[in-house]
Amino acid sequence: MPQDIPLPSRSAPPAEDEIAPLFSFDNSVLRLPPRFWRKLTPQPVKAPRLLALNRPLVAELGLDADRLAGPEGVAALAGNVVPEGAAFVALAYAGHQFGNFVPSLGDGRAVLLGEVIDRQGQRRDIQLKGSGPTPFSRGGDGRAPLGPVLREYVVAEAMHALGIPTTRALAALVTGERVLRRRAEPGGVLVRVAASHIRVGSFEYFASRGDGEAVARLVEEAIRRHYPTADDALSLLEHVVAAQAGLVARWMAVGFVHGVMNTDNMAISGETIDYGPCAFLDAYHPGTVFSSIDTMGRYAYARQPQIAAWNLGRLAACLLPLIDRDEDKAVASAERAVNGFFPIFRRHWLDLFRAKLGLAGAEEEDGALIADLLARMSRGEADFTRTFRGLATGRAREEFADPSLFDDWAAAWRARLARNPAGTSAEALMRSANPRIIPRNHRVEEALAAAEAGDMAPFERLTTALSRPFDEDEETRDLEAAPRPEERVWRTFCGT
Ligand code: AMP
Ligand code: MG
């Protein structure tokens, strides 16, 4: 009998080593003990389709946009397959939610695909949010509706363009499946990039279990990834305090309300993370709350600094045994570090708002001048973004229900401007500190509604415009407008 001659294969697959993997992962997370993570298997979605791909970020990460947009890339970004070299784990964390401790939260609808080293040599996590259930899902379905996915995409990218530390959006996909929330909605997956996913709640998870060894390991990891100059738990805490103080001051300066500042939503890196019911102020009022679940106003605009400091107190509590063997001494050092939040925050806040007012140099009375403007804006129902931008364009007074509120203040402001050091361009300073456009709630919701109906054009237009928020542009004047009363969004939803 002649030997069977194998049929020629349709097209011989190239040897494995000829195809570069889609991602060059380098997963330090897997070097952490297994109690830090749970290995996942893909929970494929029916018909994933790429809706948005952030090409500048793709390039920053050294990835191949065309391959990511192709079938192999889409399958990986949807979490339908485990790409070569991926970690594919859910991370364990706990957290204080609205002040109450929950000992086990964890990635319930997210998978850490892996870590890559970007073009600047920085280690970045790539995470899929909404890709399916994990051992931490508890009652949840592990999925995400498309609306919140696109919302996080727009807002995170807008924050980045505003110069605010944040996780980024690499891609958004629609899954081809429906998820049931208040109604049946299209499902989505957000591909998120973060400096890391170490949260205050990551420390709380291990500290609450009495696992001091894991807390110490996490301290090492946080130092290695984010604060290489820190040399112990106390100096890590001081670095995180400083980073958060700078971050929250930046939020305040653009009128951003995070909405869910639970300790599991506070990143050790100092990046803004977990965009849920977040929103930007329209008319300024310090007590503004958007989130439908924040019934007590715990996370109102003006409370954000206090809440950040409270969260840092929870981090400090986890670190006490590492700070000093003598508990009293540990508490004293930790308290000092956490209380350092307020002067650092104040310094950033003054610098940021001075620039918003076009003030160079520092005078004792600057803080009072800024506070007076804000108080008048609140009384005059002045739009936050338009009023500050209007200081440079001469249109600020129009934003006040009663323009005399502005005029009385402006005399003192002009007198202070006259004392700017010679050679200062107050106008240039104000134009670079006060964005012309922000992701207005009504515009975001309009773009999401269109996307849900299959039209991505408004989303693309909005994200493109928001990538240059300080520049003048005749084409996008409409995005400057404050909402008309009937357009105004008062409540936002987690929608997770
Ligand atoms: P977040 O709203 O992102 O702060 O999430 C709070 C916690 O709830 C985290 O542990 C999430 O993983 C979990 N979670 C939120 N949505 C879902 C979902 N659809 N399925 C499973 N877990 C979820
Ligand atoms: Mg969260």
Q: Which atom of ligand 1 is nearest to the CA of 105?
A: 10
Q: Residue 370 and residue 388: Cα distance in Å, rounded?
A: 11
Catalytic residue among 264, 274, 294, 383: 264
45: exposed, middle or buried (Cβ count in 10 Å: 0-12, 13-18, 19+) = buried
Q: Whose CA is nearest to atom 14 of ligand 1?
A: 108
Tokens of 173: 């996909």
State residue 494's pLDDT score: 74
In this predicted structure, what is the pLDDT of residue 19? 83
Return all residues near 347 (Cβ < 8 A) that are at least 6 apart: none
Q: Which ligand is nearest to the CA of 265?
A: 2
**Ligand 2 centre distance from Cα of residue 309 (Å):** 18
Ligand 1 binding pocket includes 496 (Cβ within 6 Å): yes
Could you tell me if 93 and 190 are in contact, meaning their C-beta atoms sit under 8 angstroms apart? no
pLDDT tens track of the chain, all 496 residues?
444 555 544 555 555 556 899 999 999 999 999 999 999 999 999 999 999 999 999 999 999 999 999 999 999 999 999 999 999 999 999 999 999 999 999 999 999 999 999 999 999 999 999 999 999 999 999 999 999 999 999 999 999 999 999 999 999 999 999 999 989 999 999 999 999 999 999 999 999 999 999 999 999 999 999 999 999 999 999 999 999 999 999 999 999 999 999 999 999 999 999 999 999 999 999 999 999 999 999 999 999 999 999 999 999 999 999 999 999 999 999 999 999 999 999 999 999 999 999 999 999 999 999 999 999 999 999 999 999 999 999 999 999 999 999 999 999 999 999 999 999 999 999 999 999 999 999 999 999 999 999 999 999 999 999 999 999 999 999 999 999 999 988 888 876 6
Q: Give the mutation target among 107, 109, 152 for probing the ligand 1 site: most ligand atoms within 8 A of CB.
A: 109
Give the C-alpha distances (Å, rounded to integers) separating 332 from 183, 231, 239, 425. Answer: 51, 19, 17, 45
> Residue holding tokens 């401007």?
417
Whether 277 lines ligand 1, by a CB cut-off of 6 Å, is no
Atom of ligand 1 lying closest to residue 134 CA: 21
Q: Whose CA is nearest to atom 11 of ligand 1?
A: 108
End-to-end Cα distance, the chain = 65
- Residue-level pLDDT at 4: 54
pLDDT in the model for residue 182: 87
Query: Separation of 129 CA from ligand 1 center, angstroms?
Result: 10
Answer whether 355 contacts ligand 1 (Cβ < 6 A).
no
Q: How far is the CA of 192 from the centre of ligand 1 (A)?
A: 15
Q: Is 264 a catalytic residue?
A: yes
How far is the C-alpha of 65 from the C-alpha of 52, rounded, in Å?
11
Ligand 1 atom nearest to CA at 144: 19
Q: Is 274 in the pocket of ligand 1 (CB under 6 A)?
A: yes
| CB of residue 103 inside a 6 A radius of ligand 1 | no
Q: Do the beta carbons of residue 496 and residue 276 sit within 8 Å?
A: yes
- Cβ neighbours, 10 Å, residue 362: 11
Tell me the C-alpha distance between 220 and 401, whole Å: 54
Query: Residue ranges per domain, the chain?
Result: 29-197, 201-349
- Binding site membership of 62 for ligand 1 (Cβ less than 6 Å): no
